[in-house]
Amino acid sequence: MNTRLVQRWLSLVWLAGGFGLGWARAAEPAVTAAHETAEPSFRNHVQPVLTKMGCNMGACHGAAAGKNGFVLSLRGYNDEADFLAITRGATGRRIVPSDPGRSLLLLKATGVVPHKGGKRFEPTSPEHRLIADWIAAGAPGPKDADARMTRIKVLPEHSTLKPGATQALTVRATFSDGRVEDVTRWAKFTAANAQVVNVDDAGVATVQGFGEGPVSAWYLSQMAVASITSPFTNGVPAAVFAEVRKRNFIDERVTAKLQELDLPPSPPATDGEFLRRAHLDTVGMLPSAEQVRAFLDDVGPDKRDRAIERLLASPEFVDYWTYKWSDLLLVNSAKLPPRAARAYHAWIRQNVEAGTPWDVMVRDLVTAQGSTLEHGAGNFFILHDDPRLMAETTTQAFLGMSVGCAKCHNHPMEKWTNDDYYALANLFSRVRAKNGRGEGERLLVASDSGDLVQPRTGKPQPPRPLDGRPVPPDARGDRRAALADWLVSRDNPYFAKAIVNRVWANFFGVGLVEKVDDLRVTNPASNEKLFAAAATYLADQRFDLKALMREILRSSTYQRSSQPLPGNAADTRFYSRYYPKRLMAEVILDAMSQVTGAPTEFRPDAPPGQKRDDLYPAGFRALQLPDNFVQSYFLKNFGRPDRLQTCECERSSEPSVAQVLHLANGDTLNRKLQAPDNVVARQCSADKAPGKIVDDAYLSALARMPSDRERTLLAAALDPPDPKQLRAAVEDLYWALLSSKEFLFNH
């Protein structure tokens, strides 16, 4: 007997409750195979077959222009148009109701008639039988009374297997009439992490390595995910996990996941490592040498908690998070008038400084009215002065998901349909912008009329938030208020998770969901229980982001060493250790200025053909810039985002040859080291012992004391007889530290 058939049969028996051993189970609806239904439905049965066989994919008839005159909607999102194309197109010659076997739709798909797409299925297959039965039944079209699929489920939802093992997955679809069908044959399967799990077209998953591998199934614009866990083989004693200090829900859930995967946690970071890490992640600055010395000398058991509170209350915290949210919200005078950009930045800064809850801040953004100079939040709409752009940017920024694909067709990787997209966009269709009296001023007004027409139907789609309640089309008032109510609700499963993921990635370098702004069913979190708990915690704290940051910083998970153990070196997602990450371009530049005592001069950029000679105030840090439209080869070269689209992909931390050459020979670092009144000059003029100079450099740049070997070797190099040689040697010392991986990375 075929091995896969045996596996699938066994899994179905297991799912049904065992081999008739009398286990107590609640009554479940009977499950039928889709091809065995009495009346094949075009919407619910024919379309999935065409999709699974690739007929309506982008490479075939689902392309915008179709193939050879036969055009289908991508993945069957438009049932009515596809039905007409199949039954009425080409003068109706694609089907023969009196003799289904002679239908061109079947003859080409089985290779009987030449077909550039090749053979898609066999004449004896269930696919052929289902389509033939549909044609024989008179090829009925989609009807409003058709049962609609309400959900799908992949079984088993979770498995624990070893590398080399296989698991046959089953997909069940539940319809609005209560019918449950086994649709495994026509579901499309995808493995999210092929290094852990692969899956074939039949839904048989094969474990490749260690970790967790989600497998998603897609059927009729619905998706579901099953997870397969393959524990590492470290043999970590249970006592190791029991001894982990669990300060909060983060530690509890991370430790449980590590124990499930048999991953040993790294030991705690040293005090110096923690202090430097927390400063860079929380305020984007290095601790000063004096702060490091005081922290290392402090013997209080709560000194880390006190340092956390000091950072959260510091003015540098406001600078850093204002800059972070300015990236997200695209503050950029290249796209906004300078006065409007400054008002937008000022609005963000005021909210960060006041500790405004995230839900309040977002509600203000999406419902802003009035002058964009007096109420800077209005510039969020000006940047996206189109209902469709507003819908796409709002979901990307505040829900962490992209709905843009649904503008033309049903989303290929999510459940959102073309109707969902235009229903959401129509909520923004009654906002009007007109010129104000001031330079660069725009006035936002909510209107009682106007709708966005959906191209597919030629009619407005009734306005409705995603998964929310429809808004009556004739309702008066600002439709955006209904959107905001749904958007920031604690019952919205996406809102809290989206901002949790962004904050989490800032501190850990790796989001619970990667990429950070790619939250979708088919891209699950590395620790779903932790993700849900963090979102619930934030909602319970009334969306106070500082409260979430405090829990992260205080956790043993965050305070672990970045040094891998033999048993967790392969871990990149489960937080058994802290993952080193390269610093943001702005943070590197500010840190170089801080350590050398030579601030950077920033000059606003100018539109093409214009020149600007004005400078930002002396001593301005990169993280204090109200706009990223600034002339800086360093920031551009090290991955500063252009703030043109709401996407984490705009910022890059990828290394390049240009970066290496600029650190070695470029103007930025060398000019700071050669500045006449910098820290090098002060070190040389203070008649300090060489060892003391080395200590100061290490504390300011790396937040640690040099090892005995480092101090001995470097102090010897700083002991030349000529003062000019001393200056050059100290410059070399600082250059070596400031161009090192230890400096450029947070760890």
What is the secondary structure of 316-382 as a DSSP string? Answer: HHHHHHHHHHHHHHT--TTTS-HHHHHHHHHHHHHHHHHT--HHHHHHHHHT--EETTTSGGGHHHH
- The tokens 């000091």 sit on which residue? 310
What pLDDT, on the 0 to 100 scale, is given for residue 413? 64
**Quick one: pLDDT at residue 20?**
32
Give tens-digit pLDDT for 613-625: 667 888 899 999 9
Task: Confirm if 670 and 739 have CB atoms less than 8 A apart.
Answer: no
What's the confidence (pLDDT) of residue 520? 86
Cβ pair 13, 19 in contact under 8 A: yes
pLDDT given at position 666: 92
**Residue 649 above 60 pLDDT?**
yes
- Please report the pLDDT score of residue 7 as a whole number: 38
Taking the CA of residue 292 as centre, how many other CA atoms within 13 Å lie in the half-sphere pointing to its CB? 23
What's the whole-number mean pLDDT along residues 135-150?
A: 91
Q: What is the arithmetic mean of pLDDT over 351-375? A: 97
Whether 440 and 339 have beta carbons less than 8 Å apart is answered as yes
pLDDT over 90, % of the chain? 71
Q: What is the pTM of this model?
A: 0.90
Q: Is the peptide bond before 407 cis (omega within 30 degrees of 0)?
A: no
Q: 590: pLDDT confidence band, cut at 50, 70 and 90?
A: very high
Task: State the pLDDT at residue 116.
Answer: 87
Per-residue exposure over 513-543, b if at least 16 CB sit within 10 Å of its own CB, e if not = bbebbbbbbbbbbbbbebbbbbbebbbeeeb
Say which DSSP state 469 is in.
P
Among 2-16, 230-244, 291-305, 525-539, the least confident range: 2-16
Q: What is the mean pLDDT of residues 714-740?
A: 90
Mean pLDDT of the chain: 90
Count of CB atoms situated within 10 Å of the CB of 258: 24
11-50 confidence digits (pLDDT tens): 333 333 333 323 233 345 567 665 565 578 899 899 999 9
C-alpha distances (whole Å) from 649 to each of 345, 362, 517, 646 are 22, 22, 9, 9
CA dihedral sign of residues 731, 736, 741, 746? negative
Output the pLDDT for position 35. Answer: 54
Structure tokens at 136: 């024989």
Of the CA atoms within 13 Å of residue 708, those in its CB half-sphere come to: 0
Q: Is 143 exposed, middle or buried (0-12, 13-18, 19+ CB in 10 A)?
A: exposed
DSSP characters over 93-139 = TT--TTSGGG-HHHHHHTTSS--TT---S-TTSHHHHHHHHHHHTT-
pLDDT at 611: 64
What integer is the mean pLDDT of 701-709? 96
Categorize the per-residue pLDDT at 3 as very low, low, confident or very high, splitting at 50, 70 and 90: very low
Answer whether residue 5 shows pLDDT above 70. no
Q: What gap in Å lies between CA 111 and CA 208, rounded to an integer? A: 35
Q: In order of start, what are the domains of the chain with their CATH numbers?
A: 42-136 (no CATH), 149-230 (2.60.40.1080), 236-268+493-580 (no CATH), 270-313 (no CATH), 357-487 (no CATH), 585-746 (no CATH)
Q: Which residue has the higher pLDDT, 385 or 208?
A: 208
271 token code pair? 């005090």
Least confident span in 35-39, 83-87, 90-94: 35-39
Q: What is the pLDDT of residues 682-693, one digit of tens each?
A: 998 888 899 999
What mean pLDDT is predicted for residues 100-105? 92
pLDDT of residue 388: 93
Is residue 391 predicted with pLDDT exceeding 60? yes
3-class SS at 456?
coil
pLDDT higher than threshold 90 for residue 702: yes
For residue range 653-694, what is the model confidence (pLDDT) as tens digits? Answer: 999 999 999 999 999 999 999 999 999 999 988 888 999 999
Among 452, 479, 433, 450, CA closest to 336: 433
Task: Tell me the per-residue pLDDT of 468-506, one tens digit each, with 9 for 90 and over.
Answer: 888 988 888 899 999 999 999 999 989 999 999 999 999
Predicted confidence at residue 613, as pLDDT, reads 62
**CA-CA-CA-CA dihedral for 130, 136, 142, 144, to nearest 10:** -110
Residue 561's SS3 state is coil
**Which residues are CB-contacts of 722 (< 8 A; sequence separation ≥ 6)?**
none
Chain centroid offset of residue 44 CA: 32
Phi, psi angle pair for 186, to nearest 5°: -110, 10
Residue position matching structure tokens 């019952």: 491
Q: Give the span between the Cα atoms of 258 and 269, in whole angstroms.
A: 18
CA distances from 714 to 690, 698, 730 (A): 8, 11, 10
- The mean pLDDT of 403-425, rounded to a whole number, is 78
Q: Categorize the per-residue pLDDT at 8 as very low, low, confident or very high, splitting at 50, 70 and 90.
A: very low
Compute the average pLDDT of residues 357-365. 98
Query: 214: which strand partners?
Result: 227
**H-run or E-run covering 207:** strand 204-207
Question: Over the stretch 113-135, which tens digit does the pLDDT of each residue have?
Answer: 998 889 999 999 999 999 999 99
